[in-house]
C-alpha cells in the first residue's frame, strides 16, 4: 500500500508539472546515469564522448552521475560544490576517474562571496530572495565562493558545454538568466527546479521554461523530483 501511495503522489506531481509546461517536447532516446533515484539524471548519451565537457553543479554527497558520465562515456567532467560538507566529503573519495575533477566553488548569476543557510545536517541551501526561503529557520550559516558560469568557463578555457547540470538549491533561476543573457552554448541542460510547490512556484518555473524555449531548448525528460532535461535544437 505504501508503494502504491508513493506511485500516486509521483503521478500527481508529474501531472502538475506537465500542466505548467514541464513535459517532453522532443523524442530523445535518453538513458539514466547515476544511482537509481537519488543522484541519477537523464541524458542523451549518443553525442557524448572523450571530447565532451560536462559541468555538474551541486555535488552534495553523491557523484554517481559524475562518475558514470566520466567512466562510461569518457567525458571530461568538472564537479562543483562550495559547501564545507561537500568539500570535506569529496576529499575522502577514492578511485575517481582520471577525467573527473572537483572544484570547491559554486555557480550563481554573479561572481561573489555569498551566504548560505544550513537547513539540515547534510544540505546547505543558498540564501536567496526566493519567497520559499522566507521564514526558514537555519541551523547555521556559512559564506562560500560562487562564480558566474561565464567566469568559470573563461577560467577553465571552455567555449561551450556538452552537459550542464544545475542542482543548486534555488540559484538555478539566476543561472538560467545568465545563460540567456550571456548566450552560453550548452547542448544538454539538466535542471532541478526548486520550490515549485511554494506560492507562485509553478508559475515561476513555467516562466523560466518559456525563457529556455525562446532560445532553442526543448524538454526531453521530466521526473517527479522536478529534474528536467533539455536539449538545444536551435540557436
Q: What is the pLDDT of residues 117-136, one digit of tens each?
A: 776 654 545 544 444 555 56
**Residue of 175, 214, 216 lying closest to 193 (CA atoms):** 175
pLDDT at residue 188 greater than cutoff 80: yes
C-alpha torsion angle, residues 120, 228, 216, 51 (rounded to 10): 80
CA distance 163 to 102: 16
pLDDT at residue 114 greater than cutoff 60: yes
Q: What is the chain's Cα-based Rg?
A: 17
CA dihedral (22, 26, 29, 33) positive or negative: negative
Question: For the chain, which domains are there?
Answer: 2-109+146-232 (3.40.50.150)
Instruction: Provide the grid cell at 186.
Output: 550548452
pLDDT grade for 195, boundaries at 50, 70 and 90: confident
Convert the pLDDT of each residue in 45-70 to its tens digit: 999 999 999 999 999 889 999 999 99
pLDDT at residue 111 greater than cutoff 70: yes
Residue 160 or 141, more confident: 160
Q: ∠112-148-71 over CA atoms, to 5°?
A: 120
Q: Quick one: pLDDT at residue 3?
A: 60
H or E stretch at 55: strand 53-57
Amino acid at each position: 500500500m505504501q508503494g502504491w501511495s508513493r506511485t500516486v503522489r509521483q503521478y500527481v506531481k508529474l501531472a502538475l508539472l506537465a500542466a505548467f509546461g514541464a513535459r517532453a517536447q522532443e523524442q530523445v532516446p535518453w538513458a539514466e546515469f547515476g544511482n537509481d533515484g537519488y543522484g541519477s539524471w537523464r541524458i542523451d548519451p549518443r553525442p557524448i564522448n572523450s571530447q565532451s565537457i560536462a559541468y555538474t553543479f551541486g555535488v552534495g554527497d553523491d557523484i554517481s552521475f559524475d562518475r558514470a558520465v566520466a567512466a562510461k562515456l569518457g567525458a571530461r567532467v568538472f564537479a562543483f560544490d562550495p559547501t564545507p560538507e561537500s568539500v570535506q566529503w569529496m576529499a575522502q573519495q577514492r578511485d575517481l576517474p582520471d577525467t573527473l575533477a572537483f572544484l570547491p566553488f559554486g555557480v550563481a548569476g554573479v561572481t561573489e562571496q555569498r551566504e548560505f543557510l544550513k537547513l539540515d545536517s547534510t544540505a546547505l541551501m543558498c540564501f536567496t530572495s526566493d519567497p520559499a526561503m522566507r521564514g526558514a529557520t537555519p541551523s547555521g550559516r556559512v559564506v562560500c565562493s560562487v562564480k558566474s558560469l561565464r567566469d568559470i568557463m573563461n577560467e577553465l578555457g571552455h567555449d561551450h558545454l556538452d552537459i550542464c547540470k544545475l542542482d543548486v538549491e534555488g540559484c538555478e533561476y539566476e543561472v538560467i538568466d545568465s545563460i540567456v543573457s550571456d548566450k552560453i552554448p550548452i547542448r544538454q541542460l539538466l535542471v532541478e527546479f526548486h520550490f515549485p510547490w511554494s506560492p507562485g512556484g509553478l508559475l515561476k518555473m513555467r516562466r523560466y521554461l518559456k525563457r529556455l524555449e525562446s532560445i532553442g531548448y526543448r524538454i526531453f525528460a521530466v521526473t517527479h523530483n522536478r529534474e528536467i532535461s533539455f536539449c538545444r535544437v536551435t540557436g
